[in-house]
Amino acid sequence: MRDDNKKTVIVGIFVLLGIVILVAGVMTLGAQQKTFVKSYRVTTVFDDIAGLQTGNNVWFSGVKIGTVRKINFYGDAQVEIEMNLDATTKDFIRKDSKATISSDGLIGNKIIVIYGGTSDAGSIAEGDRLESVMPLDTDKMMETLQENNNNLVNITNDLKILTHKIAEGEGIVGALLTDSLLAEDFRSILGDLNRTASRSNTLSSELVQFSQKLNKKGTTLDSFLNDTTLYASLLGSATGLQSTIGKADSVAENLRVVSEKLSSPDNPAGMILNDEEFAAYLKSAMGNLDQSAESFDETLEALRYHWFFRRSFRKSEEAKLEAEE
């Protein structure tokens, strides 16, 4: 009888421990799933949920705030996600916040991450729908990585061929690395460049010294650059030269007008220079005038021997001789 009571007590203890473990497990799972926490429901719509399941977690700013309550088909080929969120997060999640699908670790379960939002949009409320942002497609990422891997293999092959050609002395680089004569020429060119650079430095130093001498006080160039009276004198000379040039232009214009008039037969001077008939007439008149002058000289010579003028001419000759003596 005592053994039966002992067995009953032991069984009761085990049953009690089982009930305690069960209750603790239910409470733990309920706490993880936010079952016994006051919550509110929000939704979002994705084109592809990438393996997301009911019961997966919802995160906000690195904190788990809820779970995926239900997954429904929506529209033609979209999926609507219903989420239960902790009521204490209402004041932090905004109506313009966004939702995306991520992973809990590198290869962990899928989760929904809520982020963003502005204070002007107001706090989220029961039944609101968040804007969804499609995550990076893993398959597309793998395809891109595979393509990049193929490109890397091609680049490696090209580098292998290139290095082989260089090692064989092909091309300019290969010849430079393997041809000793070309290397010597290259060294010679570098030496010439070094000498040129040295000469350039020397020239620069000399130019600096020359500019310092030019800027030295008391030199001719310094006086030319800083003497205001010299500048005023040069300005006056330039003004006078400009005036002279203006007068020369005026004289040239007058000469041009005179030349045009001399070239025209409409005036006396132009007629003398350009009218052949008038020139012939003038030449004839000059000839006649010359003949008249000769006749007049002959007449005067004849008058010297006339008895009426002979005495006057004699007195004139005697006065001339006395003046010469």
Q: Residue 156: inside a domain, yes or no?
A: yes
How far is 52 from 109, CA to CA, in rounded Å?
8
Residues 44 and 28 in one domain: no
Parent domain of 155: 150-220
Residues 25 and 45 in one domain: no
> Which residues have a Cβ under 8 Å from the Cβ of 317 and sit 6 or more positions away?
none
Q: Residue 294: inside a domain, yes or no?
A: no
Q: Residue 267: inside a domain, yes or no?
A: no
Model pLDDT, residue 37: 63
Residues 120 and 154 in one domain: no
Q: Residue 108: inside a domain, yes or no?
A: yes
- For 39, other C-beta atoms within 10 Å of its C-beta total 20
Model pLDDT, residue 243: 79
Residues 59 and 22 in one domain: no
Q: Is the pTM of this model over 0.85?
A: no
Model pLDDT, residue 96: 93
Residues 28 and 42 in one domain: no
pLDDT in tens, the chain (325 residues): 556 677 777 777 777 788 878 777 666 665 555 555 688 999 999 988 888 999 899 999 889 999 999 999 998 889 999 999 999 998 899 999 999 998 887 667 889 999 988 988 889 999 999 999 987 666 667 778 888 888 888 898 888 887 777 677 666 666 666 666 766 777 788 888 888 888 888 888 888 777 777 667 766 666 666 666 766 776 777 777 787 877 777 877 877 776 776 666 666 666 666 666 766 766 777 777 777 777 766 666 666 665 555 666 666 677 677 777 6
Residues 83 and 136 in one domain: yes
Residues 125 and 198 in one domain: no
Model pLDDT, residue 32: 55
Asked whether 175 and 183 are in contact (CB, 8 A), the reply is no
Backbone angles phi, psi at 305, to 5 degrees: -100, 5
Model pLDDT, residue 287: 74
Question: Helix (H, G, I), strand (E, B), or coil: what is residue 83?
Answer: strand
Q: Total domain count for the chain?
A: 3
Model pLDDT, residue 21: 84
Q: Residue 266: inside a domain, yes or no?
A: no
Model pLDDT, residue 285: 72
Residues 112 and 61 in one domain: yes
Model pLDDT, residue 42: 95
Kindly give the pairing relationship between strand 57-60 and strand 39-46.
unpaired
How far is 131 from 44, CA to CA, in rounded Å?
6
Residues 102 and 164 in one domain: no
Q: Residue 47: inside a domain, yes or no?
A: yes
Q: Residue 199: inside a domain, yes or no?
A: yes
Token pair for residue 77? 């080929």
Q: What residues are paired with 85 via a beta bridge?
A: 40, 66
Backbone angles phi, psi at 46, to 5 degrees: -120, 155
Work out the burial of residue 124: count CB atoms within 10 Å of its CB; fewer than 13 is exposed, 13-18 middle, 19 or more buried. buried
Residues 47 and 101 in one domain: yes
Residue where a domain stops, chosen among 96, 118, 140: 140
